[in-house]
Amino acid sequence: MSAILPPSERLWYKHPIDRVEGTWIVIALIWCLIMFAMMVGWHVWGKQNLSTETYRTTPEKFTAKAQAVVDKFTVRKETADNTPVVAPPPGSDVYMIARLWSFWPILELEKGKTYRLHLTSMDYNHGFSLQPANINIQIVPGFEHVVTVTPNQSGTYSVVCNEFCGINHHTMVGRIYVK
C-alpha cells in the first residue's frame, strides 16, 4: 500500500481497530474530557474568564444613557479635545463609548467600590483592554456589554483597543483613574 495511491478497499471503517489504535483513541477522548472540565473549573474557581452581560442596543439609546451620566457626574475636562472626566458615585452604572479612534469619557472610580461598566462601539469592532489589569473584552456594535468591576488598586489605567480598527488604531487609548 502506498500513501500516494488510494486504498484498495474503500470501506476503511469496516476494518477492525488495532488494540494500540483503540488505546490512543480512548486516551485522546479522556484527555479531551479532562481539558473540558478544566476550562469550566478555570472559569468558575480560577476566575480566569470575565463574566459579562450582553444586551442589544442602538447607538442612539446608548449615547443618550452615556450623555446623561456625563452631564450628571462630570468633574473636569482633560486632553486637547476637552474629554470629560466622569466620577460617578459607587454602585452606579458608568458608560464608555468606543468609536474611531477614541474611548469616551474618561472615568474616575473609587478604590474598593463596585461599579457596573457599560461598553459599546459606535462603528466597528473594538477591543477593551484594561492595562495593567489585563481585562480584555471585544466590543461589538449594536451590543451593550456590562461588566461589574471593583478596582482594588489606585492608579491610572490605560484602556487600549486590541482589535484592529483602521489606520489610527494605534492612537485609540483611553483612561480610567482609580482614587
The per-residue pLDDT for range 30-74, each reduced to its tens digit, is 999 999 998 888 777 776 556 678 899 999 999 999 999 999 999
Asked whether the whole model's pTM tops 0.95, one would answer no
Q: Which of 10-14, 113-117, 168-172 shows the lowest mean pLDDT across its residues?
A: 10-14
Cα distances (Å, whole numbers) of residue 51 to 48, 88, 145? 9, 22, 10
Tell whether omega for the bond before 90 is within 30 degrees of 0, i.e. cis: no
Residue 89: is its pLDDT beyond 90?
yes
At 70 the pLDDT is: 93
At 7 the pLDDT is: 65
Handedness of CA 121, 62, 87, 75 (dihedral sign): positive
**96-152 pLDDT per residue, tens:** 999 988 899 999 999 999 999 999 999 999 999 988 877 888 999 999 999 888 898
* Confidence tier at 2 by pLDDT (50, 70, 90): low
CB within 8 A of 178, min separation 6: which ones?
A: 108, 109, 110, 111, 151, 153, 154, 155, 156, 157
User: Which domains are assigned to the chain?
Assistant: 12-44 (no CATH), 53-178 (2.60.40.420)
Residue 26: is its pLDDT beyond 60?
yes
**What type of residue sits at position 75?**
V
